[in-house]
């Protein structure tokens, strides 16, 4: 596909032909005709109207001839000689720009970007990073006024059109620059703020809002004298040209700067109902600094950012198992977004908080006195006219108090809440984000290991990167190589990318090799303990994480989780019902509490570390374990025999699903062998012998393939 005809009319006009050459226009009228038609492609313009607009001093006949000559020169200049893909569509009566032709027009792109920000349902323009990025693109397209350098002195309809269109476009870019300047200043991006305000003052040297933004930027950069100099220059110009004094707000700012104070600047206005509220931008926030690097989660961060900017989303709940990194993700998202909130972003940590103390904890986190005799009313009043982001961390033990979260959102229309929890709150309008483990390579990707691309492995897979970063923190000489990458990947697979488990495991590189760490993890969870004391007790070890989840389960849930530990790998609903006696409702309860994972449409599984924990709970009731093992063996050995019989009858049948069951079938075979029941099963199930032979061949082939790739 050839390149489009590029029409750049914002600033000095440029027309670039598909071959890359710049079109040269001998007269302005041809370029003006192209611009006039291109900026209104939906309309078929009558030739007599165009002739009268472009040639006001000519007779009707002469104007018509002039228009034909101008059109001919225009077609020659832009090489519009392809009838099938013409840029200009003409009839005896009309001329029209072909909107379907291969063209790019900067004015259309500019308008589309501006319109997109106006139509987007964000809570406030300057709080929407996507819209601000679009405004930045639009501003970059605006190299100058429309058709800069081209004009006509006489007062004609064409001049009126040109000046009106210029004014409309300039008004849009000025509004965009104001929004961008406020956005950049709130984020302390001073260089970008200076660029925006400089352009604004170029458009209008007496734009006081732009001046105040510029003065505030200079003060924050430590350039007070320069800020006062700009103020004096502006005041002198205003007095000389209009015999006026600066606005009281501008004078007040200058006096504050003169006195050595940081001026308060009203940055943001937004509409609520029929009232226009103006708040001062404050830096108030209470988010602790994250002392360790934040790794991965780019997709989740982008999604949270969009929800925070949306007008339609008030409550975001990050749901996932303990140790998956919900708190760190929420804090990173809140910290990144804090500049977009007039009254900041605040964290209320709910560790070990009882339901009765929830109001007190939130009020304390917001800096309110907790001794107020009407604390809930005081909390509502504080939040009622605040634009504020509140992070409620670890809500799972407070599910009986979801009504307070709903009430806060109802009473404070400009409040938005991020919740981290092991289960969703169930509030109408809640936007749930499932937080899963960091990404790690599978066995097939490991088989393609290329030592020359080791750096790419750590950058591509966030689980590997986290292991590497943490290992280097405890052992500065640690390095990634072909000698330890397979073991690191095995560790990441064993913990299914769980960030807390990766941190705990990688801390042992100062004592063990990565192979030794992986070997010990296969045995039990005792290796995954933390030696530092700056974290909550429930994150001191993986056992503590799971013990906290276990304590929040009702007896029924504990019994189901204990029974499901009998499975190896994925299992079906039928297997869970038949072997463990569970119901769909019970499985749904565990899924809601982030203790069971749905895998594909028909399978479930437990996190491998949680499975070890639950299996230890199962082994505490030996009789139950032996009963479940018997039922598990019967179920999967019968399944294997049925599969072998079906394969014997229909060898072309697609039986790929049986691979999902292999782990459980292999475990059943091992159990039957250990309990000396395998011969009896083979005698009862004729197809079982065929299955065992087929399985032996598959294992042999897989072992041979592993030897070839050196794994």
**224 within 8 A of 215, measured Cβ to Cβ:** no
Tell me which residue of 698, 703, 621 sits closest to 665, measured CA to CA: 698
What's the half-sphere exposure (Cβ side, CA atoms, 13 Å) at 98?
Answer: 17
Say if CB 267 and CB 127 are below 8 A apart. Answer: no
- Separation CA 19–CA 538 (nearest Å): 66
Q: Which domains does the chain have, with CATH numbers?
A: 5-105 (1.10.10.10), 110-279 (1.25.40.10), 298-434 (3.40.50.300), 443-543 (no CATH), 626-711 (no CATH)
* pLDDT for the residue numbered 35: 95
Torsion over CA: 531, 532, 533, 537 (sign): negative
Mean pLDDT computed over every residue of the chain: 87
List, in order, residues 6 or more apart from 283 with CB less than 8 Å away: 344
Phi-psi region of 600 (alpha: psi -120 to 50; beta: other; left: phi over 0): left
Tell me if 317 sits within 8 A of 433, measured CB to CB.
yes
CA distance 613 to 636: 23
Round to whole Å and give the CA distance between 362 and 345: 13
Alpha helices in 423-476 (DSSP H): 443-447, 454-460, 462-474
Q: What is the model's pTM? A: 0.79
3-state helix vs strand vs coil in the chain, percent to 5: 55, 10, 30
**Helix/strand/coil for 95:** strand
Shortest CA distance to 435 belongs to which of 328, 529, 336? 328
Q: At 572, is the secondary structure helix, strand, or coil?
A: strand
pLDDT digits (tens, 9 = 90+) for 64-83: 999 999 999 999 999 997 77
Q: Which of 610, 613, 612 is nearest to 320 (CA)?
A: 610
For 142-168, how does the pLDDT look when each residue is reduced to its tens digit (9 = 90+)?
999 999 988 665 667 888 899 999 999
CA distance 550 to 348: 24
Contacts of 243 (CB under 8 A, 6+ apart): none
Most confident of 275-284, 449-458, 465-474: 465-474
Segment 508-522, tens digit of pLDDT: 998 999 999 999 888
Rounded CA separation 105/112 (Å): 11
Mean pLDDT of the region 376-392: 92
Q: What is the pLDDT of residue 661?
A: 87
pLDDT in tens, 173-190: 999 999 999 999 988 899
Which pairing describes strands 415-421 and 315-319: parallel, antiparallel, or unpaired?
A: parallel
Q: Which two tokens stand for residue 518?
A: 């992986």
Q: Is the pLDDT of residue 450 over 70?
A: no
Q: What is the DSSP letter of 14?
A: E
30, 77 contact by CB (below 8 A)? yes
pLDDT average, residue stretch 611-630: 94
Q: Is residue 269 within 8 Å of residue 277, measured between CB atoms?
A: yes
Q: How confident is the model at residue 614 (pLDDT cuts 50, 70, 90)?
A: very high
Residue 564 C-alpha from the chain's centroid: 34
pLDDT value of position 276: 40
Give the residue with greater pLDDT, 47 vs 269: 47
pLDDT tens string 256-295: 999 888 776 655 444 443 334 444 444 456 676 666 678 8
Where residue 464 falls among pLDDT bands split at 50, 70, 90? Answer: very high
Q: For position 1, what pLDDT does the model report? A: 52
Q: Is the pLDDT of residue 192 over 80?
A: yes
Q: What is the pLDDT of residue 710?
A: 42
pLDDT at position 272 is 42
Q: Which two tokens stand for residue 456?
A: 């790419």
- State CA 154 to chain mean position distance: 54
In our burial notation (b when 16+ CB lie closer than 10 A, e otherwise), range 643-657 reads bbbebeeeeeeeeee
Name the token pair of 55: 């040639």
Q: What value, to the nearest 5°, has the Cα angle with vertex 121 and ends 119 and 126?
A: 90
> CB neighbours (10 Å) of residue 683?
10
Beta-carbon contacts of residue 167 (< 8 Å; ≥ 6 apart): none
More confident residue, 664 or 85: 664
> For residue 27, is pLDDT > 80?
no
Choice among 44-48, 373-377, 630-634 with the minimum mean pLDDT: 373-377
- How sure is the predictor about 542, in pLDDT bands with cuts at 50, 70 and 90? confident
Tell me what the mean pLDDT of segment 610-614 comes to: 92
Residue count (the chain)? 711
Instruction: Over range 642-655, report the average pLDDT.
Output: 71
> Would you place residue 711 in the very low, low, confident or very high pLDDT band (cuts 50, 70, 90)?
very low
């Amino acid at each position: 596909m050839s390149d489009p005809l590029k029409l750049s009319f914002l600033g000095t006009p440029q027309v670039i032909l598909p071959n890359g050459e710049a079109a040269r226009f001998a007269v302005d009228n041809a370029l003006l005709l192209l611009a006039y038609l291109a900026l209104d492609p939906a309309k078929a313009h009558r030739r007599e109207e165009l002739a009268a607009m472009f040639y006001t001093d000519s007779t009707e006949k002469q104007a018509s001839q002039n228009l034909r000559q101008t059109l001919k020169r225009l077609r020659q200049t832009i090489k519009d000689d392809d009838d099938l893909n013409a840029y200009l569509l003409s009839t005896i009566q009309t001329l029209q720009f072909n909107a379907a032709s291969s063209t790019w027009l900067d004015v259309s792109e500019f308008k589309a970007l501006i319109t997109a920000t106006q139509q987007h349902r964000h809570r406030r323009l300057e709080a929407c990073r996507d819209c601000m990025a679009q405004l930045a693109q639009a501003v970059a397209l605006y190299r100058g006024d429309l058709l800069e350098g081209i004009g006509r002195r006489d007062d004609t309809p064409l001049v009126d059109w040109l000046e009106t269109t210029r004014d409309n476009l300039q008004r849009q870019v000025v509004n965009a620059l104001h929004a961008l300047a406020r956005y950049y200043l709130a984020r302390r991006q001073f260089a970008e703020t200076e660029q925006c305000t400089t352009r604004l003052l170029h458009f209008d040297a007496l734009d006081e809002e732009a001046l105040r933004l510029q003065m505030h930027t200079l003060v924050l950069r430590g350039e007070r004298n320069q800020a006062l100099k700009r103020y004096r220059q502006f005041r002198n110009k205003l007095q000389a040209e209009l015999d006026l004094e600066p606005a009281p707000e501008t004078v007040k700012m200058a006096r504050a700067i003169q006195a050595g104070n940081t001026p308060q600047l009203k940055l943001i206005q937004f509409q609520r109902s029929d009232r226009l509220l103006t708040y001062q931008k404050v830096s108030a926030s209470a988010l602790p600094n994250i002392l360790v690097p934040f790794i991965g989660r780019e997709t989740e961060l982008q999604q949270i950012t969009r929800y925070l900017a949306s007008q339609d989303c008030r409550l975001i709940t990050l749901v996932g198992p303990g140790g998956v990194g919900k708190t760190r993700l929420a804090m990173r998202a809140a910290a990144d977004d804090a500049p977009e909130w007039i009254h900041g972003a605040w964290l209320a940590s709910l560790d070990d908080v009882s339901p009765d103390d929830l109001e007190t904890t939130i009020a304390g986190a917001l800096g309110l006195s907790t001794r107020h005799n009407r604390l809930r009313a005081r909390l509502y009043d504080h939040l009622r006219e605040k634009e504020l982001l509140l992070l409620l961390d670890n809500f799972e033990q407070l599910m009986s108090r979801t009504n307070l979260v709903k009430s806060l959102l109802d009473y404070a229309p400009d409040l938005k809440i991020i919740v981290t929890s092991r289960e969703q709150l169930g509030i109408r309008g809640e936007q749930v984000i499932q937080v899963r483990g960091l990404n790690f390579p599978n066995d097939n990707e490991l088989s393609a290991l290329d030592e020359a691309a080791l750096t790419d492995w750590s950058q591509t897979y966030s689980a590997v990167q986290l292991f590497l970063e943490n290992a280097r923190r405890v052992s500065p000489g640690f390095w990634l190589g072909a000698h330890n990458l397979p073991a690191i990947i095995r560790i990441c697979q064993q913990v299914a990318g769980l960030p807390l488990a990766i941190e705990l495991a990688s801390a042992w590189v100062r004592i063990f090799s990565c192979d030794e760490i992986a070997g010990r993890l296969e045995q039990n969870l005792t290796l995954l303990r933390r030696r530092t004391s700056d974290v909550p007790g429930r994150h001191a070890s993986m056992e503590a994480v799971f013990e906290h989840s276990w304590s929040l389960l009702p007896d029924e849930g504990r019994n189901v989780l204990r029974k499901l530990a009998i499975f190896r790998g994925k299992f079906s609903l039928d297997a869970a019902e038949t072997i463990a006696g569970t119901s769909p409702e019970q499985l749904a309860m565990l899924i809601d509490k982030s203790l069971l994972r749905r895998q594909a449409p028909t399978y479930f599984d437990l996190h491998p570390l949680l499975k070890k924990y639950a299996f230890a709970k199962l082994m505490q009731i030996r009789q139950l374990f032996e009963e479940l093992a018997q039922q598990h063996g019967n179920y999967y050995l019968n399944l294997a025999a049925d599969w072998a019989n079906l394969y014997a009858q229909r060898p072309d049948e697609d039986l790929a699903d049986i691979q999902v069951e292999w782990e459980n079938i292999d475990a059943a075979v091992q159990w039957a062998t250990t309990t000396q029941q395998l011969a009896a099963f083979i005698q009862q199930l004729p197809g079982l012998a065929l299955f065992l032979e087929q399985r032996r061949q598959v294992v042999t082939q897989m072992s041979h393939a592993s030897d070839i790739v050196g794994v």
